[in-house]
Amino acid sequence: MFKRIKKFPRFLKEVREELKKVNWSSREELITATVVVIIASVILTLYIAGIDAILTKIIQGFFK
């Protein structure tokens, strides 16, 4: 337990060093990626809703 506590400051230092190496995205890249994700989510939602509606009609036709 105490060994872990003694190693903690070293761990934080290593984390800070690694975070300096990270290639952070620019604001424009983040906005573009967000828009792409939103558009893809809407398209996929509409596709699944359409398939669901079609299959619901087919199954209701079988049971009538």
The per-residue pLDDT for 21 is: 94
Give the number of domains in the chain. 1
Long-range contacts of 1-9 (CB under 8 A, 24+ apart): none
29 within a domain of the structure (yes/no): yes
Answer whether residue 57 shows pLDDT above 80. yes
Cβ–Cβ < 8 Å for 42, 35 = no
Banded model confidence at residue 64, pLDDT cuts 50, 70, 90: confident
Q: What is the DSSP letter of 29?
A: H
The Cα–Cα gap between 59 and 53 comes to: 10
The Cα–Cα gap between 33 and 5 comes to: 40
The per-residue pLDDT for 41 is: 98
15 within a domain of the structure (yes/no): no
3 within a domain of the structure (yes/no): no
Range of the domain at 35: 24-64
Q: What is the pLDDT of residues 1-56, one digit of tens each?
A: 677 788 889 999 999 999 999 999 999 999 999 999 999 999 999 999 999 999 99
The per-residue pLDDT for 16 is: 95
